[in-house]
Structure 1
Amino acid sequence: MSGNLLQYETSPYLLQHRDNPVHWRGWNEAAFAEARQLDRPVLLSIGYAACHWCHVMAHESFEDEATAALMNRLFVNIKVDREERPDIDQIYMAALHALGDQGGWPLTMFLTPTARPIWGGTYFPNEARYGKPSFRQVLTEIARLYAEDRDAILAQADSITAHLAKPRPDAGSVPLDEELLDRAGDAILNIMDREKGGTRGAPKFPNTPVLDFLARCHERTGRADLAAIVDTTLAGMSQGGIFDHVGGGFARYSVDAEWLVPHFEKMLSDNGLLLERLALATRISPRADLFRDRIETTIGWLLREMQLEGGAFAASLDADSGGGEGRFYVWRRAEFDALLGPDDAAFIAALYDITPAGNWEHVSIPNRLATPESLGAADDLRRRRILAELRVARDQRPRPALDDKILVDWNGYAIAGLALAGQLLGEPLWVAHAETAYRFITESVARDGRLGHALRAGKMVHPGFSSDLATMAHAAFALHQATQRARYVADAIRFLDDLDAHHRTADGGYHLTADDGEAVIIRKSDRTDDATPNPHGLAADTLIRLWAYSGDDRFRARADAILAGSAANIVANVFGTASLLGALDLRLRVRTVVIIVPPGTTGRELRAVVDAHWRSDIVLDLRDDGDLLSPAHPAFGKSAIESRATAYVCQEGRCSLPVTEAADLAALLEGRAGTVWSPA
């Protein structure tokens, strides 16, 4: 079969390549059957729609007739969207790591016709330079080795595949305790940039699992240095060019050590996770007003530019537009002078570092790194008005491409972020948008009650991966905490039960792929975080919350099995297992605040105290008097006092004495209440 077949795909990334002279195929059995029939190796190219270097390699090589002719003559060529098929991406990225390469995208791998990895790399230039061979040289050499040294090639493929299938190391008797959490917090703190935030040097990534773990360590220990690094990192991102000050939303990462110059693509996953982290930070940070502003503008961007028909959210916005990277987002001082009056132009240019010389490649990236974090009320109102004018003007520029596929896991992050931000900042409309997106995902990206992974143009990737089930369980429980609607707890349990039924490994963990999903050469069950939390960490966290909410020890036992099975990974790589460490922290100190509401009362005042004192270890259970808890719950049998809304704080199998006054509940949550535990 000849010709480029990507016209029959639905992924925006694959469709970007449908007019290439390369005879691309999607990932399917027909492509590998063709390779076996022709006795050719497979060239696998993995990327995503917002990937700048993927575009560069496409322009240099995949759009080049001579290079395409070489690819078509020597290989069967397969294109994969890593966001649509993370199972494929994880396998071959692990193979590249096994070859000693740091990895990245575009991921370029050469495979046998049976999908075993031979060799690979990332971006290859069209001409040899800086010690790196040209892509055409690589193509020719791999094809020659496959034809002339087949036994060695197949032996290497067998060796790499065997390496990928190696069992996880035994943790031995590693204690999962506070001492491990303290050591991990110190180890991570030692590689952080105390002045600018993030890890030392460049590039700088948001890395929300690490920030979340460090924040939890601060909550547990009260250490100011841990709070400071989280606060500094969030402030650096909020003030830097990585944040889109005109339109809202955070870019994928900063290429420099200052948070100034972003890699301009915006991903739904990053922004959902940052909404949640920023919302939590508003409870403890002196920069709460700054973080609230960034939450508001990011949600404005999500609803304006990313929300699709039906209420779910698109995956990403490209870095490139108008023929270059970041052109949609940068400004020249002359544009300000032309768009705004001289006074407004001078005011906003000084505030956002817009200079005639520019701060990046002769243009300016708006940022607040060198200006005050807060302004007076009049100046702040003026700032908002001018930014709205600039956004209207910017919208006339060629826009970055929107990858409008719907990813279940990434929507889960956005749902949880919207739910928590709405709950803590008193914005019920944000919670309503979270519920709308959740409804679309559970009704339209599912089949026979089981979640899928991706949807676009009526085509679904199904069944979903462990990441989808773990993230949506997390999102469901976040919606329960915001709304106290019991159906969300039931959904969280159902998603985690599906995870156990179809993804369970022998050591208490989860394969990424389902047992009835498409067969792949290795069913990965990695424990390390990526740009997003690992499914094991998310699942353990939600299981612990379900245990605290219900008192049902089966949830605790499942969380404990995940943590015990991951102990060796945690000890070997605390930075890469921050989400698991966060779950362990929760396991050791989770608190349930039960508010019992008799008829004629609302419990609103007590709930407001809980929201004002919200920490990552709190589970809220607001229920009517007489609506009994499970007999296994420590608050079982407790009731309202004197027909007033009554709170109990339960931890480690015991509950506090009842409190009915807001001030008393605040003192209890702050640890100022003295000995208030009821007798056992």
Structure 2
Amino acid sequence: MTLPAQNLLADEASPYLQQHSGNPVHWRAWSPASLEEAKALDRPILLSVGYAACHWCHVMAHESFENHDVAAVMNRLFVNIKVDREERPDIDQIYMAALSSMGEQGGWPLTMFLTPDGKPFWGGTYFPREPRYGRPGFIQVMEAVDKAWREKRASLNQSADGLTTHVEARLSAAHAKALLDRDTLSDLAGRISGMIDRDLGGLRGAPKFPNAPFMLTLWLSWLRDGNPTHRDDVLISLEQMLGGGIYDHIGGGLSRYSTDAEWLVPHFEKMLYDNAQLIRFCNWAYAASGNDLFRTRIEETVEWLLREMRVDGGAFAASLDADSDGEEGLFYTWTREEIEAILGDDSGLFFKHFTLSSPHGWEGKPVVHQTRAQQTQSVAARERLIPLKTELLTAREGRVRPGLDAKALTDWNGLMIAALAEAGRSLARPDWIDAAAKAFAHISAASRDGRLPHSMLGVRKLFPALSSDYAAMANAAISLFEASGNWRYVDQASRFIEQLDRWHVDAEGTGHYLTASDSTDVPIRIRGDVDEAIPSATSQIIEALVRLASVTGDLELQERAWKIAEHAAGRAAQQAYGQAGIINACALAIEPLKLVVVDRLEDPTLVTVANRRPDPRRVDIIAAIGSEANRPLLPGGIFPPTNRAGAWLCTGQLCLPAVSDPQELEHLLRRQ
């Protein structure tokens, strides 16, 4: 079969694919029909993977995909397939691993050449239209690939077979299980700590990414083993990025990463997952340090989220673009003259607390950031600065806005729902918990035959879900249960795990695949072990199983979580840095914490202590004095007495004696 000789992206649900629907390239979305066309025409596939907020994706699109001469070569020589990596992370991970196996540096846009049956044989990332930056021009690349395909096909096929086998072994093979060992987390945390920039935070060098899985390794090490260096590694990293230009000081929210070592000039795209993880880390950091900086940044980031990222139904959009009006960062940057014109006499107060910088090599307007002293002063002066930032924000709204990728991704929403529920508990913001509950209800209601979609854009839904979707939503359900006490969220989490097992579990019951068993268009069914900007699907699954078992007291589920963690640990032993999320999840499996609190909910004392001492290792269950518990809450199927206030802290199947004094509970949770 062959598809129409035209661009077929106009009806796709992905805004990124729709952005390319006007290209003269005969783009197809990834589908069984597109793969069949390549076989029918006996042509190689040109696969281009990107995402809506990707700056260099836009550059390559403008230079090459919008150019009729380039498009003519693409249409003549290849079947051209466009993939939104956020819609199809399973496809992206396969071909990114292939590029890495070729010894190439990964990134987006990902440009790969495949045999008609989808096996990779050569690729790269961004290619300029004309030769520059020491890179060949894109037409040269395509003509060279075509020549090799015509003259050396047997060799290319052999190379593609070998590369595919290598990628399959790396991403989907089984390894012997490993015993879950406390030392694994400590060893990894020590190695990560050795790479931390003690002055600037984050990993040494540039570019600088938040790297949430590494930060969680350090934080878990601090919580469990009391290593203050690991705590400070995280606190300093957070403080530095929250003072840098990577943070939007006018409107709130964190950009994807910094291009330099000082967190100063970001690629200005804002991703939902980065900000979900920022909220969680700031929540823990505020509890541990009492530094109001972290509380302030949570409040600013949630304000941004609810103002700019909510879509129909209350779910959250995937990202905001880096570019507006064709220029990166234009929406977010300012000249001194612009600020003075808007603020007038108040501009002196603004510049007392904020700095504008144009570092070497940056061609845009200056970037707003703060020195350490300004950061400290601005927290104390926050009420005086809010009206100034409001004026600047109002003026900024008159600019050409960056593009919004309005699709709601289920797993990213799960991360944000959990973050909002947890921060809402800790900071006594029931409105945040309500926003989380609304997003959760909208995504849950989009299910079809009990199965979640992976992505939604209005009425368009992309089925089936990935394993990461079920895991993230199960974790979100448990966080909403902790915040609300509503056991229906626990039941929902159980249903998500049932669907996860039905469609994603492997034949031996030792783990899960990222892609569902009835997905017919993946050349390799991978496990989802590798961390990206967020913890891997496997790590989120283990966390969900451990937390659900802890809430329900289900010993069979606890055993399953342990078994899956052991096998994941065996795979992670081969590449711990890339699978830190699994190491972190295994640490939760080794020592799960559960806190059961009975309190007077209309005037709580113990609950207040639990709320202000969040701990990623712990699940909290709250019951009202006088209520009749309808489920066992303590290990061994025991119902705690509910005729008086009390708190029981349990590790696995063992509980410490109940405490009833708030100060005693505070001391107990700090010590843990």
Q: TM-score, normalised by structure 1?
A: 0.94
- Give CA deviations for 1:426-477 in whole Å, capped at 9, x if unaligned: 1000000000000000002x21111110111422111100111111111111
1:280 Cα offset (Å): 1.6
What is the alpha-carbon distance in structure 1 between the residues aligned to residue 650 and residue 637 of structure 2?
A: 7
Match of 1:177 in 2: 181
Match of 1:583 in 2: 585
Which of residues 233, 236, 241 is equivalent to 2:240?
236
Match of 2:260 in 1: 256
Match of 2:607 in 1: 607
2:50/2:109 contact within 8 Å kept: yes
Which of residues 357, 379, 382 is equivalent to 1:380?
382
2:416 maps to amino acid: A
What is the alpha-carbon distance in structure 2 between the residues aligned to residue 663 and residue 378 of structure 1?
A: 28
2:293/2:379 contact within 8 Å kept: no
Unaligned runs of 5+ in 2: none
| Alignment map for 1:393-432 (pairs within 5 Å) | 393-432=395-434
Is residue 16 from structure 1 mapped to residue 19 from structure 2 by the alignment?
Answer: yes
What is the alpha-carbon distance in structure 2 between the residues aligned to residue 558 and residue 202 of structure 1?
A: 41
2:407/2:457 contact within 8 Å kept: yes
Is residue 207 from structure 1 mapped to residue 211 from structure 2 by the alignment?
Answer: yes
Match of 1:461 in 2: 462
CA pair 392-359 structure 1, distance change in 2 beyond 3 A: farther
Please say which of residues 583-592 and 103-112 is displaced more in the overlay.
583-592
Match of 2:140 in 1: 137
Q: Secondary structure at the match of 2:117?
A: coil
1:552 maps to amino acid: D
Is residue 666 from structure 1 mapped to residue 666 from structure 2 by the alignment?
Answer: yes
1:359/1:365 contact within 8 Å kept: no
Match of 1:103 in 2: 106
2:177/2:569 contact within 8 Å kept: no
Match of 1:488 in 2: 489
2:48/2:110 contact within 8 Å kept: yes
1:16 Cα offset (Å): 1.1
Match of 1:290 in 2: 293
1:634/1:650 contact within 8 Å kept: no
1:14 Cα offset (Å): 1.0
2:424/2:433 contact within 8 Å kept: yes
What is the alpha-carbon distance in structure 2 between the residues aligned to residue 618 and residue 218 of structure 1?
A: 15
Q: TM-score, normalised by structure 2?
A: 0.95
What is the alpha-carbon distance in structure 1 between the residues aligned to residue 540 and residue 177 of structure 2?
A: 24
1:602 Cα offset (Å): 4.9
CA pair 361-450 structure 1, distance change in 2 beyond 3 A: same
Q: Percent identity?
A: 44
1:635 Cα offset (Å): 6.7
1:171 Cα offset (Å): 5.6
Please say which of residues 44-53 and 170-179 is displaced more in the overlay.
170-179
Match of 1:471 in 2: 472
- Give CA deviations for 1:170-216 in whole Å, capped at 9, x if unaligned: 76574422222211110111111121111110111111121112111
Q: Secondary structure at the match of 1:6?
A: coil
- Give CA deviations for 1:285-309 in whole Å, capped at 9, x if unaligned: 242x101111111111111111012
1:477 maps to amino acid: I
- Give CA deviations for 1:400-425 in whole Å, capped at 9, x if unaligned: 01111111111111111111110111
1:511 maps to amino acid: Y
- Give CA deviations for 1:214-271 in whole Å, capped at 9, x if unaligned: 1111011111100100001111111111110111111001111011111100011111
1:603/1:645 contact within 8 Å kept: no
CA pair 327-340 structure 1, distance change in 2 beyond 3 A: same
2:548 maps to amino acid: L
What is the alpha-carbon distance in structure 2 between the residues aligned to residue 210 and residue 117 of structure 1?
A: 31
CA pair 73-359 structure 1, distance change in 2 beyond 3 A: closer
CA pair 186-516 structure 1, distance change in 2 beyond 3 A: same
CA pair 362-55 structure 1, distance change in 2 beyond 3 A: closer
CA pair 562-355 structure 1, distance change in 2 beyond 3 A: closer
1:105 Cα offset (Å): 0.5
1:507 Cα offset (Å): 6.2
- Give CA deviations for 1:465-508 in whole Å, capped at 9, x if unaligned: 01111111111111111111101111112112211121112361
What is the alpha-carbon distance in structure 2 between the residues aligned to residue 352 and residue 319 of structure 1?
A: 22
1:188 maps to amino acid: I
1:336/1:349 contact within 8 Å kept: no
What is the alpha-carbon distance in structure 2 between the residues aligned to residue 543 and residue 7 of structure 1?
A: 40
| Alignment map for 1:154-165 (pairs within 5 Å) | 154-165=157-168
1:537/1:582 contact within 8 Å kept: yes
1:634/1:654 contact within 8 Å kept: no
1:552/1:633 contact within 8 Å kept: no
Is residue 219 from structure 1 mapped to residue 223 from structure 2 by the alignment?
Answer: yes
1:32/1:114 contact within 8 Å kept: yes
What is the alpha-carbon distance in structure 2 between the residues aligned to residue 601 and residue 330 of structure 1?
A: 47
What is the alpha-carbon distance in structure 1 between the residues aligned to residue 225 and residue 358 of structure 2?
A: 48
Please say which of residues 244-253 and 268-277 is displaced more in the overlay.
268-277
CA pair 71-648 structure 1, distance change in 2 beyond 3 A: same
Q: Secondary structure at the match of 1:545?
A: helix
